[in-house]
Amino acid sequence: MKKSLIYLDEEDIQSSIDLLEAVRQIYRDECYETYAFCFNQPIEAAECKFNYVFSVRDNMLQGCDIVNLTNCLEELHRTYLFDSILIPASYQGRMLAPRLAMRLGVGLVADVTRIEYNDGELEMVRPAFSGKLFAGVTNKNCSPVMMSVRPNVFTYTSKHLKDTKIIPFHPVSLQPSKIKLLEAKEKERAKDIRESEILVSGGGGAAHHFDWLYQLADELNGMVSASRRVVDSGIAGRSIQVGQSGKTVSPRLYIALGIYGSLQHMEGLKNVESIISVNINRNAPICSLSDIVVEGDSKEFIEKLLTKIRNSKKNKDMEAER
């Protein structure tokens, strides 16, 4: 029986739970048990999904205290000897995973986006060179297998309910904390592009009339996102960037305006239902993934489509009045 531990990041519980799908892909038909590490927070979210939940309640333990979190996970591993440990590649997880891997003396693969098997050997696939290339990385016979997994890539869909056992855990390895949170200001959070069903996205070809995108997005009740090129040139903020160095998005509709579709950009699109791309170059890579390719200027396209949508609405209203 294989044992897999998943670290539940308090800031992003859902992404952490989704790692169960990665575990399923690692063990496939083998028998395995899943464990969750959950500290100072309600365990409801993990219930019925994991076989076991370690519940830690200790006021000494804070989310920013990576050293003590490492101590806890090490302590658990020494007792349970997990075969794999998966940590979401969140802000916290990206500091915790490498520290724990060093503590346990095992290799770590960062930002895994896919699990594969090659000649019977587990291969963790991750993007490299800003997503221009992918690397299949293997672990040299070390246990546990450790990886940090990019959020929003795996989705846990099992309807099978588990009889979750709660294991209260009282760590003995905590040490006086050397880090103190003084103040936390919530960032002004405009709605996240990851939550939008419709994205109107602009690339280099739309950089000079980027404002227009907002009009189309408003009309469609969607949000505006951007490619790295637009963000790097300062026209749009990092928070709306799609791609390997930005966010992974799964909208139902992605309208790509003047976007070339580099690998680093395409890596940010997961399970997008429909893509419409507007480009003066009909051979741009993104066009081959699109349902409809409009060959032409993106500003002209927006103007014409807006007119079309508005006129149709007007006609409908008029008909309704009659």
Segment 116 to 175, residues that bind another protein, using CB under 8 A: 118, 121, 123, 128-130, 132-140, 142
Count of chain residues binding another protein (CB under 8 A): 84
Rounded to 5°, angle at Cα 109 from 108 and 112: 145
State how far the Cα of 228 lies from the Cα of 290, in Å rounded to an integer: 20
DSSP 43-64: -GGGTTTSSEEEEE--TT--TT
Residues 39-58 that bind another protein (CB under 8 A): none
| Token pair recorded at residue 279 | 């480009």
Task: Tell me how far, at minimum, the Cβ of 162 lies from another protein, in Å.
Answer: 29
Under the binding rule (CB under 8 A), the answer on residue 67 touching another protein is: yes
Is 261 marked as a binding-site residue? Answer: yes
- Residue 90 DSSP SS3: coil
Under the binding rule (CB under 8 A), the answer on residue 204 touching another protein is: no
Nearer to another protein, 48 or 102 (CB): 102
What amino acid is encoded at 108 in this protein? Answer: L
| Token pair recorded at residue 233 | 């040139």
**Quick check: 153 and 26 in contact, CB under 8 A?**
no
Nearer to another protein, 46 or 104 (CB): 104
Under the binding rule (CB under 8 A), the answer on residue 182 touching another protein is: yes
Contact pick of 292, 314, 315, 317 for another protein (by CB under 8 A): 292
Contact pick of 19, 46, 76, 266 for another protein (by CB under 8 A): 266
Rounded to 5°, angle at Cα 212 from 207 and 217: 110
Is 125 marked as a binding-site residue? Answer: no
Under the binding rule (CB under 8 A), the answer on residue 295 touching another protein is: yes
Is 278 marked as a binding-site residue? Answer: no
Nearer to another protein, 5 or 200 (CB): 200
Under the binding rule (CB under 8 A), the answer on residue 74 touching another protein is: no
| Token pair recorded at residue 298 | 């993106």
Under the binding rule (CB under 8 A), the answer on residue 288 touching another protein is: yes
State how far the Cα of 199 lies from the Cα of 195, in Å rounded to an integer: 10
Nearer to another protein, 45 or 137 (CB): 137
Other beta carbons less than 10 A from residue 274's beta carbon: 13
Contact pick of 198, 215, 235, 270 for another protein (by CB under 8 A): 198
Nearer to another protein, 165 or 308 (CB): 308
Is 241 marked as a binding-site residue? Answer: yes
State how far the Cα of 66 lies from the Cα of 283, in Å rounded to an integer: 47
What amino acid is encoded at 70 in this protein? Answer: T
Tell me the binding residues for FAD.
Answer: 227-228, 241-245, 258-265, 279
